[in-house]
A and B are shown apart, each in its own frame.
Chain A
Amino acid sequence: MSGAVSALDVRSVSKSYGATVALQDVSIELQPGEVHALLGENGAGKSTLVKILSGVVKPDVGAMRMGGEPYGPHSIVDARRRGVATAFQELSLVPNLTVAQNLSLPRQPKGSLGLVSGAATQKHGAAVLERFGLRLSPNAMVAGLTLAERQRLEITRAFACDPRVLILDEPTAALAETDWLFRLVRQATAAGAAVLYISHRLHEVRELCQRATVLRNGRSIGTVGLEDATDHTIFEMMVGRSQAEEMQHRTAAAQSTRPAVLQAQGLAGDSFKNISFTLREGEILGVAGLEGQGQRALFRALVGLAPLASGSVKVDGALVRLSGPDVALKTGRGIAFLPEERKTEGIFPALATASNIVLPVIGRVGRAGFVSERLEREAAAESSSQVDLNSRYLDFRIGDLSGGNQQKALLARAMQTGAKILLLYDPTRGVDVGTKQSIYAAIRSFAESGGSVLLYSSELPELVHLADRCLVVYGGRIFAEMPGGDINERTLVAALTGHSMQETAA
């Protein structure tokens, strides 16, 4: 391997934004045919490195070579022409254009007179979709696609350039199953492409990648062969402290005697039907499901963001009608919802973190109708300590925080409301290892102090470690319910795909 010319060789690259050093002396080297993981906590500099490699920003110093030739793209189009294509984490699809148009940006196929040909664009789009096994209509507007469909399209667009170096930044954040992506990656590497794979999901990385380079605080800590490195070693490289202690299984007390706080009976709605469950005081009830099994609509219906066709909801034993998140908050002991898309549904990027946290209780941090900055800060500081959010972030604009810290702030906001029932929808999506631990701890202590949590997660280990019981949704129904002791990844995976536990046990 060492004798071959590197597909991409980055040497001592640095980048600063004003006084903030984003990358310092970062080196990474990719071999042709290799899937190379880039690991690091949020804010470690992964995004900056991706932007430099894909031509969005220029490094201050450092040398890059591709296949032995100097490489210094001056734009994203230039990078693509030289053979580097990127599927971005924040998804770079234009919502008001069709799937086919997005696949041919920025230059669409031309017909006569040099004018863009709609038919040729559509044909090209259909061919690309066909080639990568994506069953989307080329004429569909991107705005109408689900998050998972958009993610697949973003990935497909990068693959369609037939790059020599492919950068996949959190490509599975919105995907529940990875077979499709991994197959494409393996095809590409078999053809000699190098893939830089960025993911927070270590089991994916282990399955797909041969080597990993770890970034921490903008520096490259080192490159390891994944076969020789334990999870512990990798975590330690990433977080730089022995925070990588194993998650212990929650000792599920016999809780069936605790009072029921949220009872759903025969709920049906947009994409789910006949859903019944009981959430008890102090309980963490897990919900597992592949993408698009109705769990999203279910969560949204429980706070009145989506309509309920039939069924009843009881909070603290009383029948309620939840017509919106504001009503849900004031119902019984209060229901707060942490939505899936923090950027569009959660944060107010231009406001300070503290203001974001206290937003639901803004009336309580004021005097005579005016918001008191001191009270706001005190309230925010109190709840941010519950989620282990460093109080120095409180005065920053939340938009400037890393994804993990934004998520902590949003969890703090949900707790700030005083609601004793939390509906958490994939609270650790795209969040780094250290932050995950803080979020787990916050959820646990919330439950221990008498709160109840309905937790959906796309990461099974999370449910295994956190949930007292776990519901598995499949095809819009509750397919299985597992008591705490029975929750393990094997049975969960089986249930997720619609196989009953008996079958797999046998």
Chain B
Amino acid sequence: MSGADPTLESLPDDPTFPPSVYERTARLLRVGVLVFFLLAFVGMIAALAQNPSETVSTLLSSTPAVGFGSFGSLWARLVVLEPTAVITLGIYVMVAVTIARVVYATVDFYRGRERLLAALSGCVVVLLIVGLFVVAPFVH
């Protein structure tokens, strides 16, 4: 009986999203998670080791936050291996992976000759970039 069980290969193919697209998207997300996890973990351990007696109240009143897109400021802090900058870099990686997967989808829709869906997906990419680099600084 178990020999007749269906597998992932039993699923019918969507010409726009064949199994290779699922594999590629899953790989992108896995790499993103791994890189983020490593950066966040290293940054967190380094921050705790640097100041083991720090209290929550001092953390809430003193931790500097970097505005999104302040790459120069982030780079300067990374050069001196500031732990919170390492964590911030990890968060940036996750944001970049998220945008990349929407870009992938736009390309896949276009290749599948689904122009309407490609255009809609392209609009999402534009909106994300506008949100990060136009709306966010405006709000700031």
Do A and B assemble together? no
Residues of A within 8 A of B (CB): none
